[in-house]
């Protein structure tokens, strides 16, 4: 029978390797989430001219959120994140917390609070739409989530 009072070297090494793998894979998962949020913000901000051209207004973010099952608040935070860090390459180098960084940390500590007009839109967006009274003022309606061409063809 072996003496368990002193841990064998192979076991110490194995535990260190497992711990390193755990830290690295958890970090990679968090970075993937963060990069995904940045990419969402990048896609939305790249279409800014189209939003203005077709006079979508800020309701388009609510419509995108409803159609993608992403909260309006998260979409606004993605946009903020992209604007604060225009290039992905600078994100990892400028974010604090090292391997403990997370999307929650970014939204709570790195990004500023949403402007008051965005906060107002978020609270307005929680009300259930009345589909019967919908006038479809946007290309993608923020009330019933139909495209304008679907409504016009009926």
Question: Is 29 a domain residue?
Answer: yes
Question: Is 85 a domain residue?
Answer: yes
Mean pLDDT per 10-residue interval, the chain, length 154 residues: 74 95 94 96 91 73 91 93 92 77 89 63 44 50 53 48
Contact between 137 and 148 under an 8 Å Cβ cutoff? The reply is: no
The whole model's pTM is what?
A: 0.67
Question: Is 143 a domain residue?
Answer: no
Q: Residues 34-78: pLDDT tens digits?
A: 999 999 999 999 998 887 777 666 678 888 999 999 999 999 999
Question: Is 138 a domain residue?
Answer: no
Question: Is 40 a domain residue?
Answer: yes
Question: Is 141 a domain residue?
Answer: no
Question: Is 148 a domain residue?
Answer: no
Half-sphere exposure of 113 (CA within 13 A, CB side): 5
Confidence (pLDDT) at 28: 93
Question: Is 3 a domain residue?
Answer: no
Containing structural domain, residue 79: 9-128
């Amino acid at each position: 029978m072996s003496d368990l009072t002193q841990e064998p070297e192979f076991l110490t090494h194995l535990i260190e390797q497992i711990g390193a793998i755990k830290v690295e894979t958890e970090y990679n998962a968090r970075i993937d989430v963060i990069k995904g949020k940045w990419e969402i913000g990048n896609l939305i901000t790249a279409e800014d001219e189209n939003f203005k051209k077709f006079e979508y207004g800020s309701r388009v973010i609510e419509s995108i959120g409803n159609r993608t099952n992403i909260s309006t608040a998260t979409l606004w935070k993605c946009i903020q994140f992209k604007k604060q860090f225009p290039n992905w390459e600078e994100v990892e180098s400028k974010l604090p917390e090292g391997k403990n960084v997370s999307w929650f940390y970014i939204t709570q500590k790195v990004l500023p609070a949403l402007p008051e007009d965005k906060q107002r839109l978020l609270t307005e967006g929680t009300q259930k739409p009345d589909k019967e009274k919908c006038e479809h003022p946007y290309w993608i309606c923020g009330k019933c989530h139909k495209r304008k061409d679907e409504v016009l063809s009926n």
